[in-house]
Structure 1
Amino acid sequence: MQLSSALAPLANPGTRARGADYARSGAIVHFDPAPTFVYAVVRGGDDYVVRLDLAGRDVRGSCSCPYFADHLELCKHLWAVVLECDRKNLLQLPDTIRPTSVRFLPSNLGEELPDEWAHDDPEFVVPRGSAASTRGGARDAGWRKALADIASRAQATAEDERPSKGRLLYILDPTTAQRTQTIVITVMTQPLKQNGEWGVMRTANTGSTRESMMDDSDRLILGRLHGAASFPGWGWQVNAVFQLKGVTTRDILPLICGTNRCFVDFADVPATQGEDQSSRHVTWDADTPFHARLHISRDPKGTHYIVGVNLERGESSLPLADISVLRPAEGIALAGTRVIALAQTGALAWALQVRDNGPLRIPVGERDALREALLASGAADDADVPDELRTTVVEVDPVPHLTLRAPQPDARALDAEVRFSYAGGPLQPHARTPLVATATPQVVAKRAVETERRAVDRLYSVGAKRTVDHWERRQRVVVSAADVPRVVRTLIDEGWQVEADGRRYRLAGSIPELAVRSGLDWFELRGDATFGGESVALPRLLEAIQKRSSTVLLGDGSYGLLPEDWVRQFAPLALGKTEDDHVRFTRSQVAILDALLASRPAVSWDEKAAAVRERLRAVTTIAPLDPPATFTGTLRKYQREALGWMRFLRDFDFGGCLADDMGLGKTVVVLALLDARRAERERDGLPQQPSLVVVPRSVLFNWQQEAARFAPKLRVLDFSGAGRAEQHSRIAESDVVLSTYGTLRRDAAALADVEFDYVVLDEAQTIKNANTAAAKAARLLRGRHRLALSGTPVENRIADLWSIFEFLNPGLLSGATAFGRSFANDAESDELRLLGQALRPFILRRTKEQVATELPPKVEQTLVCDLERQQRSLYNELRDHYRRTLLGRASNWQRSKLQVLEALLRLRQAACHPGLVDPKRVDVPSAKLDILVPRLLEAIDEGHKALVFSQFTSFLSLLRDRLDEDGVSYEYLDGKTKDREGRVHHFQTDPDCRLFLISLKAGGVGLNLTAADYVFILDPWWNPAAEAQAVDRTHRIGQTKHVFAYRLIAKDTVEERVLELQARKKELADAIITADNSVVRSLKREDLELLLS
C-alpha cells in the first residue's frame, strides 16, 4: 500500500495540493533513500530538511520548516516527499495493514538509528489496530486496546526517566562571527560514557540527531533554527552550522544561552557530567541595553579631534576592547561570555568603526564635516563634544521636497523621492535621524517626525503609489506620468518644492496681458506669461500647449507649470501662426480672435482692429434683404434675413454655411441670391459671371425645377452626365452651372480653370472628410464668394467642420492638426463653446421651432428623382415591352384590362426600385432611396421624428436593409403586424426611436402619430384624399409642431404621367390606383400612350 493512500486522511486538502505542486515542480533538490527511511531536502522559501521513517504501522516524520515546528503535523514539504516515495515505490506499507490503523507521528527532528525505534523510542505509541488490539476479537477489542494504551504510556514514562545518553552543545564562534558579520552557531553532539565522562564532540546532523541526546529546550531551539536561520553548507556539516541574522537573533539566542550549554570556545566545555560550568558558558545579559556614547576631544597638540566610544549602562561602562562580537543590526554584542543588548542609536555605527580600527583622528579644520557626520548618523545626541562642536537645537517646520525621475524615456510612471529641508538646510531623507542640519552652522533642527509623516501620507493621497520592483528587489514610490501635472500643481500650492530631472517647477503668475495690433491684412497677438520672475512669450506658451505639455521650459532651466485653465483658454489661439514674439491671424480670423479673447480681463485692441471687430459683432443686427423683382417666389422673413446675411459675408469676403433645418427652403434662398447677382450685374452693365452649384445627383433635377419656377431669368446649365464635355464652352454664358459631386471629382481640373462668382456646395457634409477626392476638388475651385448648405455640418465629430470651413475660408481654422488639437469633441467643453461663438458670423442656423410663427401648420413638397442609368435602363425596357404588347393591338387592347393594370403596376414598381420587379436586382441603386435616406438621417440628426409610407411592403423591406446597414433604429408596421398599439406606443414615447415605416393598407388610417413632424410618401397614390390621410397620422389634434410632408416622384416615369392625368382626368387617375374595371374599360388609346410614354 502506498504511503499517500494511508496518510491522505491525516493531511488537509490544501497541504496535499501544495505538496503535489512541489513534487511536480522539482522542488525536491536532494533525495537520499534507505530501506526504512528517506532523507530529503525540499526547496521552498528556503531549503528545508525532511525525514520520513517507516516502523510497522507508524510513519514517523520531521521537517525543518516553521509550519511543522509550530503544528507538528504533515506539511507540504513532507507531502512532496511522500509522493516522491510513491513514485519510486519506496517505504511501501504491507497490504495486510488497514489504512485506518496507520498513524503519522512527528519525530521532533528524528533519530540517527531508525532501526532501533521499536526498542528505544520514548514516544512509541501502540498504533490503531495493533496485534494486541485484535487478539481478543471484536467483542473485547475495547478493553484490550485500553490495557495496551496504558502499558504503552507507562513504558514511555519510564523511558523518559532513563539517564540521558548524551547532550547537544552550542558553540558561538567570535572569529567566524566577525568574518561573516553574523552570529554563527555550531551545533555539536557529545555522548556520555558509562564512567560519567563526556565523549568526543562531533558536529551534529540536526536532521537525524538521537532523541536521547535532546531535551525539550533543544527541540524548541532546533525547530527555531531550522525555521528561521540559514545553514551554509552540505556534506558533514548539514544542519550543523547556522547563521543568525536580523530580529530572529534576539529571539533564538536567549533560548540557547538558557541551556547553559552555549560556549565561545571548545576548551570551555566541561569534561565530566558533574563538573561546574557556570563560569564558562555564555549567558544572556540583555534585559537592559547598553548605550553607545561618543567622546570627542582634541589631542594634546590641538590639531585633531579624537573620537572614542564607550558602551554605558547606568553607572557602569564597558570599553570596546572587551567586545569580541558587535552586531548593530541586531542590537547585540558579545563581551567575554556575556551577550549584551545595545540601544540601537546612530552611535553604534561609530562604535563599530572604532572597535575595528581604533579611535578616529579628524583634523580640526574639518569640524564642519565632523558635525555633518554626527547629524547624518544620528549620533549628535549621544556625543560629548568640545564647545566649538556644540549645536543649538531649534524646532521649525520642514519644507517637503519631491524629486521625480523617469527610470527610462517615455516611462509610464516616475520614481518619487520625498526629502525635507529644515530652515534652508540640506535635503534630508524621511525620518532617519533625530536632528538635522539647517542653513546656519551650529544650529540644528529637531526632526518633526509627525509633520514628515503627514507629508508622506499627503503624497500618497494625491496619487503616488507604492510598488515593488521585483527585478531590483526593492520597493518604489511612483507617480503616474499622466498624473504628474495634477500632483505637482497640488503640492506646490500646498508649499512643497518639486523638481524633475534636476529642474525645479514654478507656478504661473497672473494671467498674461494680451494686445492685438493691426498689420496690412493681418492681426498680431502679443503677450508674456510669468513664472516666478521668469517670463515666456506667447508663441512658446502655445508651442507647449500644442505638444500637450503641462510645462514650459523657462530661461533659468526650471519648468513653468501651466495652469489647467490656461491650457483650455489658450489652446484655440494656436489657430494663428506663431512668429518670434507674437501670433499672427488673418483678416478672416478676426472673429475667432475676438471670441477667444472675449472673456479675457485685459486685452487691448488698436483702432483698426477694434473697428473690424465691431463690424463683425453687428452680424446679430443684420437687416433682411428683399429678393430681386424678377424672383417669382415669396420669401419669408427668416429667408430674407438669410439674404441679408449673405450680403454681410460678401462685404467681408467671407464664406458662410447656411445650416437651417431641412424643409426651411435653403435652395430657394440661394436661387434668390444668384438671381440678385444676375440683376446687379445687368443693372451695372457688368459682364455675366457664372456661379457654380455642386449638388448630390439625387437632387439635381429639383434644383433645375426650383430655378425654373422661382428664378426664370437665370440661365441654368446642367454640367453633368455624358455630354458635359460639349457643354464646357457654355459655362461662361450661363448664370448658374449645376453639377454633381461625381462630376466634380472627375472634372476637378477643368472646373478649377473657371473663376466663378459664387461656388455653392449643397449637402456640404459630403466633403466632411477632408481627405476625400470630393473635398480636395472642392478646395481647388476658384470663386469670389463661397457658400455651403447643410442642415448637419457636424455629423459625427468636430473635424467634419474643419473640412467645410477650409473650403469656405481657407486658413480660418488653421491646419487640420492644429484644429484637432485645439478643439475637443465634448459638446459641453469650453473649447467647443468658444468655437461656436467664434464661428457665429459664418454659420446661420434656424430650426423649425425658431421660425415657427412664419411657417404654415403643414408644408408639402414634391421631390423629383432622376433615375440612375441601371434603373432607367430597366424601366425603359419594361415600358417598351408593354408598349409593344398593348399598343400593338390595334383593336382589342381594351379587352386586355388585366394586362393594362399589370403593366401600370410593374412600371410603378420599377420607378421605385428595380428589385421590386426582379428580385435579382435588389443591389441595383434606387433613385428614391438615394434621395430619401440622406434626408431621413438629416432629420434624425436634427432631432426630428419621421413617418415613411409605401403601398409596397417589399419596398419598405429594402429600405429596412439600408437602415440596418447604417445602424438606424426604427419601428415597422404592415398588415401582418400583431401588436399595433405596442409599436405605436414605442414610437410615440421612445426618444431614440425616430423612424416609423408604415405600409399604406396597415397604417393609412386610424393611427395617432403626433410625435413625428416629417412625413415621406415613397410612391404616389394619386389620390389626394389617401395622401392626406397618411399625412394626417401626424398632422392632427395634439400636434404642437409644424409638419413637413414630402412626396417622392420618379422623373419621366408613369408616376409623372399619372400626375398629369390627375390634373386632367381625376376619375381616370383614381381608377388606375383602385383597379376600377369600368373606368379602365373607358380608357382611350391616347391616355394609354401618355402613361406608357
Structure 2
Amino acid sequence: MSLNRSVLASVEDEEDQSSSSPPTSSIDSETYLVGFIIANIVGLQYYSGRISGREMVGLVREPLNRFDPNAIKVLNTRTVQVGHIEKKVSGVLAPLIDSNLVHVEAIVPKNPKNTFRFKIPCHIHIFANIGSFESVKSAFLRSGLCLLSDNDPLFGTSESMVVKDKKKTDLDAIFKLVDQNLSQNAVNGEIEPPKDLILTDLFGHQKQGLYWLYHRENSKELPPFWVENNAGFLNVLTNYESNERPDPICGGIFADDMGLGKTLTLLSLIAIDKCNVSTDGKCEVIDLDNEHPVIMSRKRSRNGSKKQKTEECQGHVGPKMTLVVCPPSVFSTWITQLTEHTKRGKLKAYMYYGERTQDVAELQKYDIVLTTYSTLGSELDSSTDPIKKIDWWRVILDEAHIIKNHRAKQSIAVSKLNAKNRWVVTGTPIQNGSMDLFSLMAFLRFHPFSTKSYWDTLVQRPIAQGNVNGLSRLQALMATISLRRTKEKALIGLPPKTIHTCHVELSVEERKLYDEMETEAKNFVAKYIAKGSVMNNYSTILSIILRLRQICTHTELVPPDVRASLLSYNFEDASNKPGLLKKLIFLLQDSEDLDCPICLSPPSKIIITSCAHIFCENCIIRAMKCSISACPLCRSRLTESDLFSPPPEYAPEVDKSSCKPSSKAAALLKLLEASRTENPSTKSVVFSQFRKLLLLLEQPLKEAGFKTLRLDGAMSAKKRAQVIEEFGVSGGGGPTVLLASLKASGTGINLTAASRVYLMEPWWNPAVEEQAMDRVHRIGQKDAVKVVKMIANESIDERILSLQEKKQKLAKEAFCNKGKDEKREINLADLRTLLSL
C-alpha cells in the first residue's frame, strides 16, 4: 500500500457534534389528508418525461427556478421531468410546502392520451397535521382554488382512494411473491479473495459477503417492484409502464453487524478489480496501464455447465477507481486494514482531505481515494473539484448512517457523485426511524424511492400511521437490496457479550434539582400541547429535556445559572426563632462529637428541625421524601417549613474542595474497583456523550489509582489514533480505563483491548450505543464482553430506554417478514412518555 502521509498528518477532527436531542422532525410528525385539488401539469413539450397511464408522479420544489420561484416540477417514476404544476396552483402550494405546513402527493388519474397536447390533469393530495388544517384550508379559500375535503360530495373521486381500494389485493400478492422468492437474493456461494493481493484468510461469512457484493455489481436483474409483461416493463407500485428495460441497481446496502470485518471484505472486492477472477478465487493480475480492465467470471448455468462471461466497464468510468467516503476517525481503520491485509504496493490509496490535489490525472494514479463527508459537503457548490469530474467505478459510503439527514449538504453532495456501482455500508442503517433510509435511497438512485414524495407515499406515511403496507414494502425493499448478518448468525466464534443495567439512586441534591426541572418541563410542554404549538417551541422543550438528562449524570454539567435558580432550598434562618436557636446553641456547645442520627457522621450543611433535632441537610430531606414526612427520632410531623439553617457564626466550615463525584460517578468507581479486584489487567471503556463529564471523571479515577486516557471530539484524528494505540498496549503499568466520547468513538475504531464497557447515560437511538459497544465486541476480541448501562432511577433515563426498545423493534422488522399495526416514530405521545405527562 502507498499513501500520501503528509495529508494524514494534517487530518483534524470534523466529527458530528450533534446536540443531545432527538430528531427535530419527529415530534408531532403525524399528518393526515386535508383534501385534494385538481391541477394541470404544464410544459410537457419542453421535457422528455412521459406518463403512460394512471400513475403516481413526484412533486419537487424548485425555488431557484429563474422564471418562477414558486415552481414545482413533476417527475415520473424514472425521475425524469415531465413538466411543472401550473402557476396558479404552485403559487399557493409552494409557500405552504416551504413553511413545512404541508406535504403533497400526486397521481395522474387516467390515461392521458385523451387530454390536451401540452398539459395533463393530476390529483394533488394535501397532507398536514390536524392543528394546521384550518390555516391550510384558508390559504386555498383565499386563492379561489377548490380544495375537495371529506365533506365535499366529490371527495370520493380521489384517485388515491380508488387506487387503495383496487390495488390492495394485487399489492399484497406482489409482496407475498417477493417474500416467497427471497431465496433468490440469499448468499448462496463464496468467493476467495485474490491471493496475490489479499494476505489474510477470510472468515466464511466474509467470503459469502464478497460473493454477494461481486454479483450485485454484475447483476442484470430487474430492480425490485418491476415486472416484465407483454407491453414491456411495469412498476407494480406506481403503475408506470415503459418499453425500455429499467437499469439494474449495481450496489446496495451492506449492513452486516458492526465488528464482522466489512472493511476487509470491501478491500477484497476492490482487489478483484485488478484481477481476472472466477468464483474459485483464481486471480491473474491485470496490466494497470489498461484504462479499461476487464473482469472475467465463470458463472454456472442452471444445467451445471460453466459459461464464460465478460463484463466491461460501461460509459466513461476509466480506471476502476473506488471512492471511499467516511468520517475522519475511520481513515485509520482503512489505512490499518490496507497495511495489515494487502500486499505492499498492490493497492494505492490517496487521502483527499486537507491540502489536496485538484488534478484529476493525479487522482487517477490511485486505486482508492479516501475522503470525508464534510469535505464533499464543503465542495458542494464548487465546480472545480476533481471528485466531481471522475466517473467512479465504485463509491462506498462507510458509516453511511451519517447522511440520514437528506437535507444536509454532505447528503446532497454524495448523491450527486457519478458512479457505476454504489454501496451504502453501515451496521445501523436505521437509527431513529424509517426516514433514515430515504437519503440512502437517494444516493443509491433507487427509483422511485429516491424521490421524497414517492418515499412518503409508499413507505413513510403508511409506517407513521401504523399501516402494515408501509412496513411490508420496506421489508421487501431491504430484502432485495441489502445484506445483513448479525454476530449471532455469522458463526465467527466471538466471545459472548452481556448487557447489564446499573440502577443508580440520585442524591438528595440531584433529586431536588431534577424534580424542579422536570416540573418546569411538564408545565412548558403541557402549555404548548394545549395551544398546539409544540413544534414552534421545540428548541425550548429540548433544552429542558437536555438539562434533565445532564442532572441524571452530573449536576456540574448543568450551566451555573440554571443550578443557581433551582438548587437552593432557602431554609429560614433559625435566628428568627429564639427558642429554637437557644436549643441549637446548647446542642452544639454540649456535644463536640455531634453526629447526624441518619448517616452517623458529623453533619454536613446542618439543619435543625422544629422539634430541635440536628441532621445533615441531604439526610433529612431524603428521609422526608422516603417516609411519611416525620422526624426520624421523635416521629413529629415535618414539612419543609419546619427545617431551619443555623446562623453563619454557628455553621461549620463547608468543604470547598473540587466538586464531589455524582451518584453515577460514585457507582462507576465501585464497579471499576470490583473489576480491578477480580482481574487487575482488565481494561474498560467509559462512554459519555458529554465531554465535560469525561474531564470531571479524570480526577476521582486518578485518586482511586486508575491510569486513564481520554478520547473525544476535540482531538485531531492523529491524536486519537495515538490514544487508541497506547490503550491497546498490553502488560502491567499501562492505562486500564479509556474515557471516550460516545459520538467521536462510535464509528470506525477498534477497542478490543478492553472487555468492559460502561455507558454513563442512554442515547436517543440505540444504534449509537450499539456502535460504541461494538468497538469492543468485534473480530479480534478474545474475552467475554460485559456492558453496563448506568440508569438513574425514576428519571428520564428509564423512559429513554423504552423509546430505544421501539426503535430497535423497527430496525429488526425492516429485515424480517412480519410487522404489527403500530406507530413507530417518536411522536407527541412519546414526548408525553418522556415527561410522565
**TM-score category, normalised to shorter length:** 0.3 to 0.5
TM-score, normalised to structure 1, is 0.28
Higher strand share: 1
Find the structure with the greater CA-based Rg. Answer: 1
Which structure is higher in RCO with an 8 Å CA cutoff and minimum separation 6?
2
